[in-house]
Chains A and B, each alone.
Chain A
Amino acid sequence: MLFATYSTGFKSGGFNSGNANTALGQLRVFNPETVEDYELGFKFQTSDRVLTLNATAYRMDVSDFQERALFGITPVVQNVGSLRQQGIEAEMTLKPIERLQLNAAIAYLDSKFKSYPNAPNIPGLTPATHDLSGYPLTFSPKVSGTAGIEYSAPVNDGLRVSLRSDLSYTGRHYAGTTIDGNPFTIQPGYALLSARATLFGRDDRWSIALFGDNLTDKRYCTNIAVQVFDAPLGLRNPTTGTGLRCFVGNPRTLGVRLTTSF
Chain B
Amino acid sequence: MQPDRACRNKTSLPGQPRDPAALFVFNQRTSSIAGYLQGTVKIVPTLDLTLGARYTHDDKDGSFVGRNFNPAAASIQTNETTQLSSSEGRWTYRVTSPGVRAAT
Binding site for B on A (CB under 8 A): 1-10, 12-15, 17, 19-26, 28-29, 31-32, 34, 73, 229
Contact = CB atoms under 8 A, between A and B. Distances in A.
A9 B66 CA distance: 34
Contact of A21 (B74, B86, B91): B74
Nearest to B86: A13
Contacts of A14: 60, 86
A28 B98 contact: no
A23 B82 contact: yes
Contacts of A6: 93-96
Contacts of B74: 21
Interface of B: 22, 24, 26, 28, 56, 58, 60, 62, 64, 66, 74-80, 82, 84-86, 88, 90-101
Contacts of A34: 90
A4 B82 contact: no
A7 B75 contact: no
A17 B26 contact: yes
Given A1-B99, A5-B95, A21-B76, 8 more contacts: A1-B101, A7-B95, A13-B60, A15-B26, A24-B80, A26-B82, A29-B84, A73-B76
Contacts of B90: 10, 32, 34
Nearest to B32: A12
* Residue from B58, B84, B88, B91 having most chain A Cβ neighbours under 10 A: B84
B64 A4 contact: no
A7 B86 contact: no
A24 B82 contact: yes
Contacts of B100: 1-3
Given A12-B58, A14-B60, A29-B84, A20 B97 contact: no
A19 B97 contact: no
A5 B96 contact: yes
A253 B100 CA distance: 46
